[in-house]
Amino acid sequence: MSINIKKQVIYDPGSAKFQEDELIYCPDKMIFGVLDGVSGLYTPKIGPAIYNGLSGAQNVAKIVSNVFSDAPNGIKLEGILKTANLAVRKFCLSKNLDLSHSESLPAVDFAVAQIISNKINIFSTGDCFAVWQKWNGTLGFTKNQGYKYDLTLEKKIKQMLKKYNDRDRAWRELLPWISSQRRILINNKGFAMLNGQDGLYTSWQHVVLELASIKYLVLFTDGMVLFSDTKHERLLAQKIIRLYKKGGLMSILNNTRKAEAQDREFSHSKFSEATAVALDFV
């Protein structure tokens, strides 16, 4: 089947100290997506654990990206993700990390799609997103799995900042709570992350779409949008598609940057790292 697709990608490091996103762009395999690296738990003052000169998140994001690049044509997306998870597990074990302590494991969130057999197969985790519009105008989306946790964390950080006026101390005070919550929630009862744990396979989001029904598909990391926008996924989907039609991925990013410039209290950096890929089926 011949498929005519207009493709668009964007990456912006923002003001993040560590660049931990990766773009998955494998048109020969008909696989497209984004990765968002997440280091094991740390405080802003100490910073993330460094391995081979890179943060844990950077290491894992590159490992997963390389698995996609090296995968032979014809391999299904689920199989590639499982191979990537095993590669990350091997990395974590080589650094003497305990696989049962999910709060300490470097990981990636992802939103990745594969076009195969007249279907679009989508897998996503955490706060990476897939948004699509069908030819008939119907919108679809994956959810922000970590929204409730992140919202609670945001509130707690703001309370601690008000109390101490010291970001590092605020994080130190919250570390026990954050650690316990991440161990409970990641790949278990809350949200999925690719970190070497088997719980990924029962925690990720999986959507199968009929290829012929889809007009637009946008895959993006959380840095492309405001955290507050992810509360209501349908409204987020409407906004993403509207802005994309107006001016492509740059229109989405510019809209976010404008809002970030006004207030970015919760983030470690003023402007978040952002990555996205869009497919327009014509």
Q: Average the pLDDT over 24-32 and give the result.
A: 97
pLDDT of 265 reads 53
pLDDT of 189 reads 82
CB of 77 within 8 A of CB of 96? no
Percent of the chain at pLDDT > 70 equals 97
pLDDT of 220 above 80: yes
Q: Spell out the alpha helix ranges (H) of 95-166.
A: 147-164
The residue among 263 and 126 whose pLDDT is bigger is 126
pLDDT of 45 reads 86
In terms of Cβ atoms closer than 10 Å to its own Cβ (0-12, 13-18, 19+), residue 42 is middle
Q: Average the pLDDT over 102-112 and give the result.
A: 98
> Cα separation of 256 and 83, whole Å?
34
Q: Average the pLDDT over 216-238 and give the result.
A: 97
pLDDT of 1 reads 53
Would you tell me the crossing angle of helices 147-164 and 167-185 to the nearest 10 degrees?
160
Q: What is the CATH number of domain 5-144+192-281?
A: 3.60.40.10
pLDDT of 263 above 90: no
Order of all β-strands in the sheet with 205-210: 21-26, 31-38, 107-116, 119-124, 205-210
pLDDT of 43 reads 87
Instruction: Give the residue among 201, 204, 205, 199 at the shortest CA–CA distance from 187.
Output: 199
pLDDT of 262 reads 82
CB of 21 within 8 A of CB of 108? no
In one-letter notation, the amino acid at residue 8 is Q
pLDDT of 5 above 60: yes
- The pLDDT tens digits of the residues spanning 33-86 come to 999 999 999 988 899 999 999 999 999 999 999 999 999 999 999 999 999 999
Residue carrying the six token digits 């993700």? 81
- The tokens of 179 are what? 């650690």
Least confident of 100-114, 218-232, 257-271: 257-271
DSSP, res 229: G
Percent of the chain at pLDDT > 90 equals 89
pLDDT of 152 above 90: yes
